[in-house]
Each structure stands twice: as C-alpha cells, then as structure tokens.
Amino acid sequence: MAPSTASGGKTSGQKQGDRRARKRSLAGRLFRILVAVVVVLVALPVVLVPLYAVVPPPVSTLELWQRVTGVAVERDWVPLEEIAPNLAYAVIMGEDGRFCEHGGVDWGAVKEVIETDASRGASTITMQVAKNLFLWPSRSYVRKALEVPLAYYQTAVWTKRRTIEIYLNIVEWGPGIFGAEAAARYWFDTSAAKLTLQQAARLAAILPNPHLRNASRPGPQTSRYAQIIEGRTRQAGAYVQCIRSAG
C-alpha cells in the first residue's frame, strides 16, 4: 500500500521533519542573535573605555534608561577642575574609602560584607562607573560578575582622577539629575564649583538612595550620615591623594 500523503504530495513524516527543521533553524537564529549581543556588549567597553579617557561619555546606560522610560533628564558635563574638590573627597570617603589603594575592586570590602552579612554592597567607585556606563541597574550576579573585569580594565586605562571625574559627571543624584553640576543646581541652586563642604557631604550622603533622600532638607538619618562624611572629609589626607591636582 502506498504511504499516505497530504496536499502537495508530502507524507506526514516529511511534514514532521520539516517542522523539526524549522524549529532547529529558529533556534539557530536565536542563538546567533544572542552571541551577537554578547559580542557587542563585550566589544563596546573595549573600544569605549580608551575613548572615554579623553572624550566625555555622551550618555550612560542608566541615563539612557531614564530617558526611554520618560523621565526628564538633566546633565551638564564639567571638568574635575570645575567641581569643588570637597565633593570628590566626600564621595570617596562615603562610597569607597580605599579608592586610591585598590586596582578597581576592593576585595577587603567584599570579604567584610561576606563575613558580616552587611546590607551594604561592596561596589567600588570604579565598579559603579562600569555599571552606570555599560551595564544595567537591576541587581544580579551576572551584572556583578561583569563589573569586576570592567573595573580592572578601566583602572588599567584611566587615571584615578579620570575615574572620579567620570563618576561625578554620570552618577544620579535625584530622579533624572545626573552629574555634579545638575545636582548642585537642583539641590542648592549653585554651581558644582561653589559647593561648600556641608553641601558636598550631603550630596555624598544621598548617593545610596538618591530617589528617596533629600540633600537640601535631609532627614535625621541622612543628616547624621552627612555629618560623619563631613568629618571624614576634613581628615581625608592620604585617602584622596591620588586625585589631588599636581598643580
């Protein structure tokens, strides 16, 4: 007896084979797209990090995400020389006290967090730059794993002064408020160059949660933390030596 055929003369077995082939083809295309995306994600920082050593980053992924979701964004790049030194010092003393010592990743802080089960993270300023510039905001082990090699790469290419300059210009200091200049205007109606030590300490104090904390009228907890940072900044000394101007 001849095998049963469907319209077009193909047997049911042939049709099943065609469906399997189409599924394999679709899976193959999806895999190639995924590989292409990974290659782009890896290649972009490799190319852009050396470029950003001399050119201000036009946008960060965090800022881009805010724009895509409809948040009004304010950011004006200013060189480090036009930012009050105390802001850089306060941010280091509040966010990454070993900034001048480590090579991008502070493994001592990582160990401390693991041993104490602390709620704070162990991201250095360099790692935060990697996250804000090239990665995504949601927490995940994958993102954290990508931050580490990026931080080492940035440290190999950029000076410490360049790292803190980029950080101060791309970090978010409020909903859609990116960079020191926009933050100084938004919170204190002044320029980044004219920030006082108290104002700088308050800006550093809201960084862990700039969407909920207020720099101009800080609550009791933020105010206490700002006072701690202000005291540390007054005694920063060697902790910030790597970013002091040679002139």
Rounded to whole angstroms, the Cα distance separating 193 from 215 reads 17
Give the pLDDT of the chain (247 residues) as one tens digit per residue.
444 454 456 677 666 666 677 777 777 788 778 767 666 666 788 899 999 999 999 999 889 888 888 888 999 999 999 999 999 999 999 999 999 999 999 987 766 655 544 445 678 999 999 999 998 777 777 788 889 999 999 999 999 999 999 999 999 999 999 999 999 999 999 999 999 999 999 999 999 899 999 999 999 999 999 999 999 999 999 999 999 976 5
Fold of domain 53-243:
Penicillin binding protein transpeptidase fold (1.10.3810)
In one letter, which amino acid is 212? L
For the chain, the structural domain boundaries read 13-52, 53-243
Q: What per-residue confidence (pLDDT) applies to 135? A: 87
DSSP string, 96-160: -TTTTTSSS--HHHHHHHHHHT-SS----HHHHHHHHHHS-SS--HHHHHHHHHHHHHHHHHS-H
Separation CA 91–CA 131 (nearest Å): 17
State both tokens at 158.
Answer: 């950029």
Half-sphere exposure of 74 (CA within 13 A, CB side): 12
What are 103-108's contacts with CB under 8 Å, separation 24+?
A: 103/152, 103/155, 104/148, 104/151, 104/152, 104/153, 104/154, 104/155, 105/148, 105/151, 105/152
- CA 37, CA 210: separation in Å to the nearest integer? 31
pLDDT for 199 equals 98
Phi–psi pair at 177, nearest 5 degrees: -100, 100
Alpha-carbon gap, residue 98 to 93, rounded angstroms: 8
Q: What are phi and psi of 172, to 5 degrees?
A: -90, 125
Give the pLDDT score at 43.
75
- The span from the CA of 6 to the CA of 64, in Å, is 53
pLDDT of residue 55: 96
pTM: 0.82
What φ, ψ does residue 72 adopt, rounded to 5°?
-70, 130
Specify the pLDDT at position 113: 54
Task: Give the per-residue pLDDT at 41.
Answer: 67
